[in-house]
Structures are given as C-alpha cells and as structure tokens.
Structure 1
Amino acid sequence: MPQINAERWNAVEQLVDHFYETDQVPAIALQVMVEEASRSYFKGRQRVSDERESLREDAIFLVASITKPIVVLGVLKLLEAGDLLLGDRVKRFIPEFGCAGKHGITIRHLMTHTSGLPDMLPNNRELRSANAPLSEFVKQICQIAPDEPPGRMVQYQSSGIAILAEVIQRVTGQTCAEYLTQVLFEPLEMRDTSLGVPGEWSTGNQPKIDRITEIRIPEELNIEPHWGWNSPYWRGFGAPWGGLFTTPSDLANLVKMLQQGGRYRQQQIFSPRTLEEATRNQLNNIPGLSKSARQGKGWGLGWQIVTPANSDYYGDLLSPNAYGHGGATGTVLWIDPRLQASAIILTTQPQEPHGRFLARISNTIVATIEQ
C-alpha cells in the first residue's frame, strides 16, 4: 500500500518554506492524499504586503483555470441525465452560436479544446475595463469566427468553457454558479466554494470575503487594477473559465469523489463510467486532428492528461495516466491513479507559462511516496 515517507515530507515543507522566505511566493497551501493518508501544509500571508496576518488554514483561493474541468463536470451531469450528447452541436442549445463557421462545433469539441475558438475575445481587455457582464462575453463569442474549423487543431480556449456554461443555463434555467452549487458543491460538502463571490460572503460577523487571499499581480499585468484578479468586479464576475473560489479541503472532497469512481460518502455523484471517459485522452476521437496535434498535450473531457509533452505545472514524475489542471493564479490539482495519490497546490503567485514553483513542489511530493 502506498504511503508518505515522513522524512521525505520534510523536504516538501522545506521547499515551500524556501519559496516563501525568499519572497518568491507570498502564500502556498498544500493538500496531499496518498491512499487513505493525507498531509496539509500552509505557509505565507493572506495579503501580499502585510506580514501581520499569516495564511489562514481556512484561506479561500481564486484557483483560476482549475474552474474549467469543474464546469465540464457540471455539463457531464446533464449528459448523465439524458439532456445532451457529446456529439451534439452547440447550436442545438444556443441557436445564435451556429454562425460564422461554428455550425459544426460540438459539446465534445468545447470540452477538449478542439473547437478552433480563440482563448479569449480580441477585445477581452476592453470588456473587462468596461466591467462588462458575463452575458456580453457570451454574446460576442457567439458572433466571432473560429480560428480554424472544428476538429482541426488543439487550441486552449476559455471562450469554449464560457459557452458550456451558457449551455448549462439554457438547459436548466439556472446560472452556471447556481447549478454547480446544487449538483456538485452541496453534495460534496464544499461549503466554502463558489463560482464568483456571492453577496452573502460579505455579511455576518466573520464574512468569508475576509478569508480570500490576495494575489500578487505581475507588473506586466498590473495595468488596470479595477478589473484585475483582486478587484470587486472580477471576484463577483464568476468567470466559468477561471472564477472559482475554494479551499484546499473543499477541493479535497472533489478529488476523493473522483478517486472513488464518483462516490462521496453514501452518494453516487457520478457513474464510474462517466469519469473513466472524462479522464482518458479524447484526442484519438477527433478524426481531423493531425498526428502532431495528437502527440502534444492530451485532453480528456475538461481534464488535462499528463504526457511527456506537458510537464509544465505537474513536474516530471507523474504516471502517464495522471490527470489534472493548472491555473494562472499559481494553482494546480493533479490525480495519479497509478500512485493512488493526488495533490492540491494553491499559491498566490502567478506562474505562467511553466509553473516552475508548482512543478518543483509536485516533484518533491511524488518523491515522498513509498509503494
């Protein structure tokens, strides 16, 4: 049975301490699970420049693109309910989407980043500067032309996840945030998790909003503070591609469910078969992809499949069937079925494009595992 070597775990904590004490990373929270054992470690401060308040053990993080596979899980609940198929064209649910060369884009294309859509809208910065609502982003995504026909290329695209959130709203009549709370966060007892910061987090004697960590914004991105990651606008926006607020312990409940074939406590949240499909490389199912596209970064349904081509964020030691997702705010979540291990690493230091801090921590975590 795999287990964590206590002496080697000290090396993980020492590396985290080094990143903090040299001010390379303002805050780091770890939640590592190996078989039935778990370890957590918190180091840093709640606010980037405030030494007086240490990182809380109930700190809430903006996890950025880890949001994406969670939105996809929401759509997979609709698949299990018989409301849609992976091969359904998106225009079936959003008629106005089916224009400008997007007629053939399917739900599977959006989940696997093979739709040909751009990552962001060309006027993304202008929309944020105007504090535009999510509905305006969706409207404009429906109007644009893809960079390539669907199924021809693998191109990471936040815009496609925005459209999946709109599919959820068209099918259920609920916002994506409301739906995810109902079908995922409440059943999984993720009580400190929300897509966007809800109004009630600002109320009461101990408002949850005080637990949200501040992200250190790189100088090149600190152009418009009123719409940055720490701004009230972005916190309330609830971007389906990157607006999830959560804690390591809440995410650990989601991970447990994934590792247990869709089961959490006494509830079967997903069919094991659904999760098998979601966490295997889907690119072989896209007939128009080139050989080189298939040999790059692998994609399941929302989840990135760890391959030799994508050690970014995940380090160098995970098994070939591991899967997970990273986030631009300096976060990564990975699950390795072969090692029977998982890790949640949340920081407040953006690490694009290679996530070196995250990858180095991942390597030290894997090195603690004894078979």
Structure 2
Amino acid sequence: MAIQGSCSDQFSAVGEAFSDSLRSGADVGASVAIFLDGEPVVDLWGGYADSERTRPWQRDTITNVWSTTKTMTALCALVLADRGELDLSAPVAKYWPGFGTGAKDRIEIRHLLSHTAGLPDWDQPMTLDDLCDWGKATALLARQSPRWEPGTASGYHRFTHGFLIGEVIRRVCRQSIGTFFADQIAAPLDADFHIGLTAEDDHRVSDVIPPPGPAPAANPRVAIPVSGYVTAKETWSAKWRRAEIPAASGYGNARSVAAVQSLLTSEGQTSRARLLSEATCRAVFDEQSHGTDLVLGIPLRFGVGYALNAGDAPVSTTNPHTCYWGGRGGSLVVNDFDSRMTIAYVMNQMTHLGLTDPRGHKLLQAAYKALTR
C-alpha cells in the first residue's frame, strides 16, 4: 500500500525509508512526522490499522504509544513550572503532604521526572484494575519507601512515573492529568493526542499488535527488576483506553506527538500558541543522572523529563542538545534543539527492541542526512 501525506523535497529520504519499512513488512501500519522550526515538513502515514490488513491506516488513525506518553506527562509539569505553580527542585511533599513518609521527604519533583526517585514499582502486585484505580495506585506509592537513595541513580519508573507526576499535577491544579493535558496543551496546539480516550474515538484506534517471537532473556545488568503488569492484548480493552495511566496509555499518531513535542524545539512558541519560555524548554538539559539504569540495565543519561543525548545511549545524535524517549514496542520521539527539529514515529506492530528498534532509527538517520543536504 502506498504511503500518504506530505513530505518536503529536502526530507524525501525519510519518505523512502518509511515506504521501505512498510513494504518489507517490518511495519504493518505506521506514521512518521517531522517538525522543523515548529512547522511540519514531513507528515506521512500508511499500511494497515489491523493485523489482518483489512483496514487502511488513515490520516486520523491513532494508537497506544506506550511510554512515549511520558514525554506528554513531562510537558505538563514543565508548563506548570513555567507558570510558577510548580518548583522542580521542591520536595514532592510540598504539594502532596502524605508523600513525605517512608524516607521520601527528600524526594524532589525533578527526581520524579528523571526516574531517580527510587520508586520504580509498587511493593505489591498490581492488576489492570489496580492501575485504573487512581486513588489506590497513588496511595500505595505514598506509603512506600524508596528502593535506593533518591537522586543517586536512575531506575526506570515504568508505570509509577505517571502516577507520581500526575498526582502532583492533580494537587496543584485540581485537574486530572488527562484533563490538564487536553485543556492546556492539546487544545491550544490542536493536537490529536489523548491521555484517557473517549468512546467517540474508539473507531479511529489501531490496536497494537503483539511482538512476534519470544521475549529476550533478562538483561543481567538489571539490578532492580520491576513488573510489566499489562500485556499488549489488555490494551485492546475499553478499560485501558478510558483510564488515565500517564506513563503508558496515551493515544496519538506521529503528527500529534511531533506537534506537541516541537514546543521544545521551537522555544515554547508555535504558530498557534506560546506555552513555555525558552528557559523552561532548556531546563530539560539539567542532567540528573548518567550511568547504567538500575531497571533497564542499559546506559542512560536523564535530564528533567527526558533522556539526553550521550555517546553510550541507545539514541545518540551528532548534536549535543538532543532529548528523547520512546515507547514499548518501538514508538519514538526525538527533540533536537540545535537543528530545531522534532521527529516522531508511531506504529502498531510492536517489537521487543524498545529504544533500539531499527525502524525508528532508520527514519532518524534519514532525517539527519536530509539536514546536511
């Protein structure tokens, strides 16, 4: 199936790489978008919205992007910080008084955003029903003790990240994070991204397709294992779609991910709105940790809300001022401040490769070649 959308001549190599991925079968249905100086220069989609390959992926098709949702959650916190309503260096307990128990009084907001808070998992097994119960999920975290000294190392907060930051946001602005994101970020940018999906949007959803083959063996460098909790098939349920699980249950496509994240690479100003100051955008580069992540077992350098460019990182570019993150299965967003470029890749066919998925990396490489033309 031919790809659809628009692509500037400069970035034709991105279109070719995207077409190759669909033609080869590496992708079933997918989208890629690039914003340069806050304006779209690539907006492509193609393939199929279902594993049976009967429904074409349309312009408005959306899918669960898993942990790429975390970049949206981080932006919510940055917007509040920019308004002076949230101090990134303040103790979490300043906004969430019950959180300060269990040796957590020294955990700061920036620790939540950088996966260095020592709370990568719950101390008890959690079900999908538990994850959909905001009060229970956050109350349990408030009672826990950190698993390592906060601020000393990163340990990927796979699901807890969104509940921790989301509860702070809820207490600051008296809105759920899904509502805050929709009103304060998605609406001003006219971006089709959702943390908590309404039934009216169900017909547009392309359910994620589980990765083929067995999962790889556990990484021996993982010091602190955490639970996965949710299978790909469980995300096909209305329960998952309706829930606000702001570390993992966001729905969008490459266009909407890039439209929102390009706020950073356009210094907080787009043609539609100014939501951040340049100084707050640059705050993401305040390094919080750099080393082997205790949960993922891979080298990561974390700033505030994003992983940062580094030679030993799974995503590395020639431009130093680059931040990124991706989602389980392969979705990816990269913000390059030096070239003022944001690139996003969103797909339905999952793999086991995560941040090292070659599909997103090939698109990224093609984009950088285009910049040097």
TM bin (shorter chain): 0.7 to 0.9
Q: Percent identity?
A: 18
What are the residue-to-residue correspondences of 1:18-167 with 2, within 5 Å?
18-35=20-37, 38-49=41-52, 51-118=53-120, 120-124=121-125, 126-128=126-128, 132-158=132-158, 159-167=160-168
**Distance in 2 between residues matched to 1:141 and 1:304, nearest whole Å:** 23
Kept after mapping to 1: 8 A contact 2:169/2:177? yes
1:212 to 188, 193, 205: 205
Query: Aligned residue pairs: how many?
Result: 346
Helix, strand or coil for the counterpart of 2:67?
helix
Cα RMSD of the aligned pairs, angstroms, is 2.9
Q: What TM-score, normalized to structure 1?
A: 0.83
1:257 paired residue number: 263
Following the alignment from structure 1 to structure 2, what is the Cα–Cα distance between the partners of residues 292 and 255? 26
Q: Which one-letter code corresponds to 1:178 in the other structure?
A: T
- 2:340 aligns with 340
Counterparts of 2:26 and 2:180 in 1: how far apart (Å)? 37
Displacement of 1:38 after TM fit?
0.5
The equivalent of 1:204 in structure 2 is none
Q: Which residue identity lines up with residue 19 of structure 1 in the other structure? A: S
Query: Partners in 2 of 1:131 and 1:277 — Cα distance?
Result: 30
For residue 245 of structure 1, what is the aligned residue in structure 2? Answer: 251
Contact map agreement 2:86 2:172 (CA 8 A) in 1? no
Return closer, same or farther for 1:270/1:231 CA change in 2, 3 Å cut-off: same
Q: For the Cα contact (< 8 Å) 1:112–1:300, is it kept in 2? A: yes
Contact 1:165–1:176 (CA under 8 A) maintained in structure 2: yes
State the shift of 1:73 in Å: 1.8
Q: Specify every segment of 5 or more residues in structure 1 that has no aligned partner in the other structure, as ranges.
A: 202-207, 284-288
Match of residue 304 from structure 1: 307
CA distance in 2, matches of 1:112, 1:224: 23
Looking at structure 2, the residues matched to 78 and 130 of structure 1 have their Cα atoms a distance apart, in angstroms, of 28
Deviation readout 1:39-94 (Å, 9 max, x if unpaired): 22222101112x22211121112222122122122122222333231221112222
In the alignment, the residues of structure 1 paired with residue 233 and residue 129 of structure 2 have an alpha-carbon distance, to the nearest angstrom, of 6
Which secondary structure state, in structure 1, belongs to the residue aligned with residue 156 of structure 2? coil
In structure 2, stretches of 5+ residues that fail to align are 1-6, 216-227
Letter in 2 for 1:350: M
Three-state SS of the structure 2 residue aligned to 1:113 is coil
CA contact (8 A) 1:71 1:164 kept: yes
Normalised by the length of structure 2, the TM-score is: 0.83
CA distance in 2, matches of 1:55, 1:42: 7
Partner of 1:282: 287
Distance 1:223 1:111, change over 3 A: closer
Q: Which amino acid aligns with 2:134?
A: L
C-alpha contact (below 8 Å) 1:129/1:226 kept by paired residues: no
